[in-house]
Chains A and B, each alone.
Chain A
């Protein structure tokens, strides 16, 4: 498999007023094209920060990050925006849908700026929401909202799909539905999927699991035979 992304000695500091916090303390990793990766770690371990750096939402304070051999750590804000626009899809724990746009409009919002967007209706059909397209987010259940968020993330046909606790706000049944949608994207469309979660069960679906502890990559575990979402429970 080709290396899609490579991080070398990634460090990130935050300053909250008078206090300086080091969230990532030097992380090295490689991500291969088409992989399903789960990043596990406790609160404050740096998972979200790492995901944000991978997704171009913020830049590392120190270190190098390469995407398809291009250095992301050297590019300016405008190029980083283009990277997010064309290469990355995000799914957030709290969905972050636009409350006053309908399901269809939320997805189309992103399709409008993409270079090669997929059909909005096709994607909604794919996530099982074609009959809900004219509803507003407040009229949907949590699982439905998360599926809209997934549809919105994949409509622009990104190479990389980043999910921040995608099942964190959902019950188990709905969570499994969402995970199925993500695995389907990984297997059928060969999208690289990275999920961060507290939930160790979800790690059983991954090709590889990154264990983060106190801002360091503590361990990387390869799963020989990843499970289907139906086979896991929590």
Chain B
């Protein structure tokens, strides 16, 4: 069948624009699928391998001080397999820059412990020696701060300046995603890094004798975390137990895992959208091709070509498109997986994270492209079988010429030009094709809406968080919960300070049945102005005198609503024997975009903790010019763990939003390309179907622009229906996107502002206009005399 193949190739060449548009849409879908699949598979594999290689812990405990020589005895508790005790201490880096806010988290290495948990993978250099002022740092910190092995860093440890030498770089499974705390939102290697130091060295530096403040453990096979938690808590209680966290809630692990989960969901949904649009284009194009080649099909049948041979011939078109799109998408996806993996390496310190050429995903891409293309091809070409050769040789019977529904609105119908009437009638006379096009436009529109709304949403989030929620200029985080009065008094008399509000943030475990969440429970003073809780309408809400307020995301995670009771525990609570925690009434559910918190009135929280009037941080309103001086004053204070200005927070939020920006624009651009391809295809079909009609209009004296109105009126009608259908689709898509992108650090509201709906309508209209401009040039160069001279 060499000649039929040649015919197919020439047919494709003749309408190359449409086929190319289709190939591009397929390739975009598969580019996303392949690149993200390779990246996520590599992340998953690297995570598992790294965890196994380094014996990643199943649980993490913080405690004020637990005897070092008792650590191993914890393995005697049922279910506990291995235990390692460490000292973990955050220290400030002394920099020439006075206001600098750089910190290192020092984690001790205990070489004497044979069964080490969370082992360090040495990347470069060598491990720090015992009793030597040496440290190993995470590679990103070294790189970003322009340090080298052998350099020394001055650290402020317990008020003393201590120089430590860098012996190399290493990575731990515990710090794959390195953040100082959950409020940080974004890793910033410039300001925060991890350092590993010999236990003996740090003990000397912090003047600690025989106590550890951090314990990690692994579980015996088949044992659940919850079954050991109570025993451990009971054992550690007398030693100043602070928190116990299972692996799933460990910050780095949970962020990495949720990222993997989110990418997996995206790889399953987004490519399907693009392949679906490509299938619509292919189907409509093939239907038209077959209608156009009806006589050729009849001729082939007359000469004895079998139905199978003819169907296979017409399936060769989608197969060529599918193969080309599949290969192009697969190969470019593989190529993109390399920079994508590099980008992920910037966020996640995973040693084995690398991309490689994947025949598997190239094959899957090809298979997916072929399945979508051939299915749409089969749907489009099976009608050939129904045609008898004699019937195929005749032009098709004219379609029904009944009035369309829209013509019943005569006032509207009469106001239209003849060209518009022709175009609109065609929409209703080819219902299948119109429905496919409307669905396609609706998909494009909803993609654009979501993209637009995310842009709005991220802008809004920044503004709301920085101008309405966190209205303080400086947050002074205390190292320990401290009595409020004295601290507040001291800070209030600092230069430039106009208002000080104490705040109490404590780790808490919230439980509703088997659903449980570890969060920061925030106690706010009555009339607090420097941290505001807002309701759905953005109005400030006073924390109720009793009960607890939950953020929407938290309430959803715990499946509770207003009026429900939840059980709250905190490691800072002074327990009575019978009462570890308390049942509290959920008095409200409030939106919270950044962070995952529960809120109580400070006095109520203090009462719950039974610790008296304490606070953990001071929120300060002050003259911005004095912020630097305040930082200098407190940066070496032993009772202050960090000083963060609103500017610092703003920069972090903005950096996080920038990472969304890429996704938002990518989605909008890809949506636009899809819209263009769809409408361009529809224009070409209209043009070829109406060649004679349009040529007649030209001969009758209409300008190309007037003739174009026949096609544009058809397309604007499809566009209007597409946008109408796209609105509910956008709501569903926006909800699922917000849900999949929200996590414990931030939650994106599933909100579609009118601007997003309008903006997407404009964006979709733009892609329609661009496609129509191509149609205009085709009409302009229409050889109308020749068309009218030839027979159909």
Name A residues whose Cβ lies closer than 8 Å to a Cβ of B: 16-17, 49, 52, 55, 57-58, 77-78, 81-86, 88-90, 92, 94, 96, 98, 100-101, 105-106, 108-110, 112-114, 152, 156
Determine if B397 and A16 form an interchain contact, defined as CB atoms under 8 angstroms apart. yes
Q: Which residues of the partner chain A approach B10 to less than 8 Å between Cβ atoms?
A: 100-101
Give the contacting residue for A58; candidates B14, B303, B307, B390; CB below 8 A. B390
Q: List 14 A-B contacts (CB under 8 A).
A: A57-B301, A57-B389, A57-B393, A58-B390, A77-B307, A94-B791, A96-B298, A96-B299, A96-B393, A98-B7, A109-B7, A110-B303, A113-B304, A113-B305
**In the complex the two chains form, is A92's CB within 8 Å of B393's CB?**
yes
20 extra interface residue pairs, beta carbon distance < 8 Å, beyond A89-B303, A96-B295: A16-B397, A77-B307, A78-B306, A81-B301, A81-B304, A83-B304, A84-B389, A85-B303, A85-B304, A85-B306, A88-B304, A90-B302, A94-B295, A100-B11, A100-B14, A109-B7, A109-B303, A112-B1, A113-B304, A156-B303
- List which B1-34 residues lie within 8 A (CB) of chain A: 1-4, 6-7, 10-11, 14
- Chain A nearest CB from B5 CB (Å) reads 10
Residues of chain A within 8 A of B295, CB atoms compared: 94, 96
Say whether A58 contacts B389, CB under 8 Å: yes
Task: Give A56's nearest chain B residue, CB to CB.
Answer: B389
Q: Which of A49, A101, A113, A156 neighbours the largest number of chain B CB atoms within 10 Å of its CB?
A: A113
Q: In the bound complex, do residue A109 and residue B397 qualify as a contact, i.e. CB atoms below 8 Å apart?
A: no
Q: With an 8 A cutoff between CB atoms, is B296 at the interface? A: yes
Chain B residues with Cβ under 8 A from A106's Cβ? Answer: 3
- Considering the complex, which residues of chain B in the window 290-340 have a beta carbon less than 8 Å from any beta carbon of chain A? 295-296, 298-299, 301-307, 309
A108 in complex: contacting residue of B3, B11, B298, CB < 8 Å: B3
With contacts A57-B301, A100-B11, A113-B303 taken as known, whether A105 is within 8 angstroms of B6 at the C-beta atoms is yes
Contact of A57 among B6, B302, B397 (CB under 8 A): B302
Q: Is the CB of B391 closer than 8 A to any CB of chain A?
A: yes
A101 and B7 form a contact (CB under 8 A):
yes
- A52, closest chain B residue (CB): B390
The reply to whether the CB of B388 lies closer than 8 angstroms to some CB of chain A is yes
Best-surrounded residue of A94, A96, A106 (most CB of chain B within 10 A): A96
Instruction: Return chain A residues, CB-CB under 8 Å to B3.
Output: 101, 105-106, 108-109, 112
From A16, A49, A84, A94, give the contact of B304 (CB < 8 A). Answer: A84
The 8 closest A-B pairs by CB, nearest first: A85-B304, A109-B3, A100-B10, A58-B390, A57-B390, A52-B390, A84-B304, A57-B389
Please measure, in the bound complex, the distance between the C-alpha atom of A49 and the C-alpha atom of B296, giving whole angstroms. Answer: 19
Q: A96-B393, A100-B14 are in contact. Are A84 and B7 (CB under 8 A)?
A: no
CB contacts (< 8 Å) of A83 on chain B: these are 304
Q: CA separation between A157 and B296, bound complex, in Å?
A: 21
Determine the chain A residues whose CB is within 8 A of the CB of B303 once the complex forms.
84-85, 89-90, 109-110, 113, 152, 156
Question: CA–CA, A100 to B302, complex, Å?
Answer: 19
Are the CB atoms of A100 and B393 closer together than 8 Å? no
B619 CB to nearest A CB, Å: 76
Residues of B within 8 A of A (CB): 1-4, 6-7, 10-11, 14, 295-296, 298-299, 301-307, 309, 388-391, 393, 397, 791
Residue of A nearest to B391 (CB): A58
Q: Is B4 in contact with A109, judged by CB distance below 8 angstroms?
A: yes
Q: Which residue of B lies closest to A101 (CB)?
A: B7
Residues of B within 8 A of A88 (CB): 302, 304
Within 8 Å CB of A90, what residues of B?
Answer: 299, 302-303
Q: Contact: A113 with B791, CB < 8 Å?
A: no
- Please name the residue on chain B nearest to A49 by beta carbon: B390
B388 contact set on A, CB distance < 8 A: 57-58
Q: How far is the CA of A86 from the CA of B2 in the complex (A)?
A: 19
- B300 nearest CB across to chain A (Å): 8
Q: Report the minimum CB–CB distance from B388 to chain A (whole Å).
A: 5
Residues of A within 8 A of B791 (CB): 94
A57-B390, A100-B7 are known contacts. Are A84 and B309 too (CB-CB below 8 A)?
Answer: no
Nearest CB in chain A to that of B791: its residue: A94
Contact of A86 with B4 at beta-carbon distance under 8 Å, contacts A57-B390, A98-B296, A113-B309 already known = no
B293 to chain A, nearest CB (A): 9
B299 touches A101 (CB 8 A): no
Cα–Cα distance between A94 and B294 once the two chains are bound (Å): 14
Picked from A81, A92, A98, the residue with its CB within 8 Å of the CB of B306 is: A81
Identify the interface centre among A55, A105, A108: most chain B CB within 10 Å of its CB.
Answer: A105
**Whole-angstrom distance between the alpha carbons of A58 and B390 in the complex?**
6
B301:A84 contact, CB within 8 angstroms: yes
**Chain B: CB-nearest residue to A109:** B3
The answer on a CB contact under 8 Å between B11 and A84 is: no
Q: How far is the CB of A177 from chain B (nearest CB, A)?
A: 21
Complex Cα distance A77/B307, Å? 9
CB-CB < 8 A to B6: which residues of A?
A: 101, 105
What chain A residues lie within 8 Å of B304 (beta carbons)?
Answer: 81-86, 88, 113-114, 156
Which chain A positions have C-beta within 8 A of B298?
A: 96
Q: How far is the CB of A24 from chain B (nearest CB, A)?
A: 13
A105's closest neighbor in chain B, by CB?
B3
Measured CA separation A114–B296 after assembly (Å) = 18
A112 touches B7 (CB 8 A): no
- Given contacts A57-B302, A58-B388, are A96 and B296 in contact (CB under 8 A)? yes
Across the interface, which residues of B come within 8 angstroms of A85, CB to CB? Answer: 303-306
Given that A58-B390, A94-B791, A101-B6 are known contacts, is A17 also in contact with B397, CB under 8 Å in the complex? Answer: yes
What separation, in Å, do the CA atoms of A57 and B3 have in the docked complex?
Answer: 23
**What residues of A have a CB within 8 angstroms of the CB of B2 in the complex?**
108, 112
How many angstroms from the CA of A2 to the CA of B441 in the assembled complex? 65
For residue B7, which residues in chain A have a CB less than 8 angstroms away from its CB?
98, 100-101, 105, 109
Residue on A with the closest CB to B303? A110
Chain B positions within 8 Å of A16 at CB level: 397
**Distance, CA A58 to CA B296, complexed state (A):** 16
Cβ contacts under 8 Å, B305 to chain A: 81, 85, 113
Determine the distance from Cα of A173 to Cα of B156 in the docked complex, in whole angstroms: 108
In the bound complex, what is the Cα–Cα distance between A83 and B389 (angstroms)? Answer: 13
**Residues on the A chain within 8 Å of B390, using CB:** 49, 52, 57-58
Minimum Cβ distance to chain B for residue A148 (Å): 12
Please report the C-alpha to C-alpha distance between residue A222 and residue B545 in the assembled complex, in whole angstroms: 115
Give Cα A92 to B393, complex, Å. Answer: 10
When chains A and B are docked, how far (Å) is the Cα of A89 from the Cα of B11? 26
A75–B301 Cα distance when bound, in Å, is: 16
- Measured CA separation A96–B309 after assembly (Å): 19
Q: How far is the CA of A140 from the CA of B409 in the complex (A)?
A: 51
> For residue B9, which residue of chain A has the nearest CB?
A100
How far apart are A21's CB and chain B's nearest CB, in angstroms?
12
- Closest approach, in angstroms, between the C-beta of B307 and any C-beta of chain A? 8
Residues of B within 8 A of A108 (CB): 2-3
A125 CB to nearest B CB, Å? 20
- In the bound complex, residues from chain B placing their C-beta under 8 Å from that of A156 are 303-304
Q: Chain B residues with Cβ under 8 A from A89's Cβ?
A: 303
List chain B residues, Cβ under 8 A from A96.
295-296, 298-299, 393
Residue numbers in A under 8 Å from B4 (CB-CB): 109
- Closest residue on chain A to residue B388 by CB atoms: A58
- For the complex, what is the distance from the CA of A100 to the CA of B9, rounded to whole Å? 10
Q: What separation, in Å, do the CA atoms of A52 and B389 have in the docked complex?
A: 9
- By a CB distance below 8 angstroms, the chain A residues around B307 are 77, 81
A234 to B1, CA, bound (A): 41
Query: What CA separation (Å) do A90 and B309 show in the bound complex?
Result: 19
Task: Give the CA-CA distance A83 to B6 in the complex, in Å.
Answer: 26
* Assembly CA distance A178 to B302 (angstroms): 21
Q: What are the residues of chain B within 8 A of A101 when measuring CB–CB? A: 3, 6-7, 10
Distance in angstroms from B792 CB to nearest chain A CB is: 9
Contacts of A49 in B (CB 8 A): 390
The distance in angstroms between the C-alpha atoms of A88 and B791, with both chains bound, is: 26
A58 closest partner in B (C-beta): B390
Q: Which chain B residues border A84 with CB–CB below 8 Å?
A: 301-304, 389
List, in ascending order, chain A residues with CB within 8 A of B309's CB.
113
Separation of A88 and B388 alpha carbons in the complex (Å): 16
CB distance from A175 to the nearest CB of B (A): 18
* Cα(A175)–Cα(B306), bound, Å: 32
Q: Point out which of B304, B307, B393, B791 has the most chain A C-beta atoms below 10 A from its C-beta.
A: B304
